[in-house]
Amino acid sequence: MIAVVGIGANLGDARANVADALARLETEPGCRLVAASSLWRTAPIDAAGDDYINAVALVETTLDAHALLAALQAIEAAHGRERPYRNAPRTLDLDLLLYGDAVIDSPSLTLPHPRMHERAFVLAPLLELDPGIAIPGRGRAADYLDTVADQAIARLD
């Protein structure tokens, strides 16, 4: 199964945290990093704090969606991720955006990620990796770029 993982950080050495998350995705049992986008700098949305460093990764996995989510949360915890309030600054944030074309609505996991089509920090790196990718139930991801044009984003590498 190919999963799409959003990666972001805005506390500490955000670039290093994103790079470490990519390295951990490569070595996580049941996972293989297939591709990673460039790094992107974005302003926080619905929050205060420093700019984020973001990326998107394509991960081939033998884990089911819930087990992959648990693995992502363990990587966050290893980086000291705390959740004191909604949209709090983060040492590392890993979001399971897509799991193949699965549509899941459970108490612990909603796929596709419910706001991914509203976020430039997801769409720009995702489309860098796969310009024709579709979001199950929504259509082509590229069709949402105009709706996020007001969100500041800059490719870093």
Q: Which residues are catalytic?
A: 81, 90, 93, 95
- CA 15, distance to chain mean position in Å, is 14
112 preceded by a cis bond (ω within 30 of 0): yes
Name residue 94's amino acid.
L
**What is each CA distance from 93 to 34, 117, 119, 138, 148, in whole angstroms?**
19, 17, 14, 24, 20
Alpha carbons within 13 angstroms on the beta-carbon side of residue 91 total 13
